[in-house]
Amino acid sequence: MTGFLWNLGAFLIALGVLIAVHEFGHFWVARRCGVFVERFSIGFGKSLWRKVGKDGTEYTLAMIPLGGYVKMLDERVEEVAPERRNQAFNNKKLWQRSAIVAAGPLANFLFAIFAYWVVYLIGVPAVKPVIGEVAPQSIAAQAGIRDGMELKSISGIKTADWETANMAMISHIGDKQMTLTVSGPDGEYEVQKTLDLTNWSFDPESERILTTLGITPYSPKITLTISQLVDDGAAIAAGLRLNDEITAINGQPVSDWMQVVEAIRAHPGKEMNIEVRRDGKPVTVLLQPKAKAGKDGELIGYAGFAPKVEPWPESYRINLQYGPVEAVGKAAEKTWQLVMVTFDMVAKLVTGDVAMKNLSGPISIAKGAGMTADYGVVYFLGFLALISVNLGIVNLLPLPVLDGGHLMFFAIEAVTRRPVSERVQDIGYRVGSAILVVLMAVALFNDFTRL
């Protein structure tokens, strides 16, 4: 219950901030263009809080926090007194109306730049994208990618860390090839490698993109020495101690931590002989893993202890932190990459290269908000930037109920020299609304299947 409330709270904060940013974009440009704004609302439905400002605008916080709107004076909506017609949206020049509509998505992009600017000012720890292992006969292996190489760029996008590398790879879903620039294990050379993606398949729901290409990121060695014990866990009950080094399970020697994990998972509620080296001496304990249900409902065992992990080499660790001026450029570059990747994914969603099951709705966003908030303000800001870019791009889709639909009508008006008829606009709004409802239903269905 606590996790649900935390996710909900983080979601509402994230959504409130991004809606306010989007609607403020419309509001600010409308005011600059001389349009009177009657209401600035965050949310829909019954008003929870309202205040009329000195500018005559009613500011409202409404009950349903799944959107917002800016209500402007408009003769198409209601009768306007003759002396106020110059303040009506519909009487403004085409470029002014276009600027007002485009300002919402633009504000989302600017907010993403601001959020990343703050992130880079604070600094975010990361590791270089060094390849730990390449699976034999994999797509990466066939392209000549080798263990120890470091990814420098992917199709022209510089990859300082694994997050950027993953994002660049995701943009290649549905493509025939991908070009990687890699350096040797000691950074003594750089070379381009082309991956053949003709037979590549990737399911974001169940697979990691790197794994499908045959790449395992470098990570420090996981030892067989116990470094953590959970209170009241099966490990403590069995008599295991910190710094015990596991050497064998049920008489079978072990040399890798995954062997330990798999053995324990396979023995829920069943006794196991665990041989360890303690203070240089062999000790055998009787461990009975507790049982819990896995994702598929099958019982799996867990013991309540964790291994010691060797530290990262200092040469692999980086801190993405910049000065106030340099951070602006880095933030703009990061936002531009997000915009390009998101546009690309939307296009592939339309063409069918990306499956509809990959759409995410408010439940997935809430979980993401809660998880990043757990990690700290830097990661939460990065999440806000990501969602802000997505919100901006979604609103630019050429559906009449969205900003992109209005801009489409304005583009037609610019060509024909006359506004699109109200009848055509009305039909467009109905069709656009139906499409949005279907997309939201699919996204919500996907969310529930992931629970």
Q: In this predicted model, what pLDDT tens digit does every residue of 95-126 receive, in sequence order?
A: 999 999 999 999 999 999 999 999 999 988 88
- The distance between the two most distant Cα atoms of the chain, rounded to a whole number of Å, is 96
Q: Is residue 435 within 8 Å of 352, Cβ to Cβ? A: no
Q: The tokens of 436 are what?
A: 């949005």
Q: In this predicted model, what pLDDT tens digit does every residue of 269-325 receive, in sequence order?
A: 899 999 999 999 999 999 999 888 876 678 888 899 999 999 888 888 888 889 999
Domains and CATH numbers, the chain: 2-33+92-123+383-450 (no CATH), 125-220+311-320 (2.30.42.10), 222-310 (2.30.42.10)
Any bridge partners for residue 226, and if so which?
Answer: 307
Q: The tokens of 5 are what?
A: 């409330």
- Please give the single-letter amino acid code of residue 285: V
Q: Which pLDDT value is given to residue 103?
A: 95
E strands of 221-271, at which residues? Answer: 222-229, 245-249, 252-253
Mean pLDDT of all residues in 52-68: 85
Q: The tokens of 176 are what?
A: 């025939």
Q: The tokens of 134 are what?
A: 């390449």
Q: The tokens of 119 are what?
A: 């992130």
Please determine, for residue 354, whether its predicted confidence score (pLDDT) is greater than 90: no
CA distance linking residue 62 with residue 60, whole number of Å:
6
Q: Which pLDDT value is given to residue 425?
A: 79
DSSP secondary structure string for all residues of 375-394: H-HHHHHHHHHHHHHHHHHH
- Give the residue numbers annotated as catalytic, written as ranges: 23
**Angle separating helix axes 377-395 and 362-375, nearest 10 degrees:** 150
Please report which residue ranges of 159-245 form alpha helices under DSSP H: 162-170, 209-213, 234-238
Q: The tokens of 215 are what?
A: 């790449």
Please determine, for residue 9, whether its predicted confidence score (pLDDT) is greater than 70: no
According to the per-residue pLDDT averaged within each range, which of 59-68, 107-116, 232-241, 362-371 is highest? 107-116
E strands of 294-374, at which residues? Answer: 299-302, 305-309, 317-320
- The pTM score is 0.78
Q: In this predicted model, what pLDDT tens digit does every residue of 372-396 receive, in sequence order?
A: 444 567 878 888 888 888 888 888 8
Please determine, for residue 190, whether its predicted confidence score (pLDDT) is greater than 70: yes
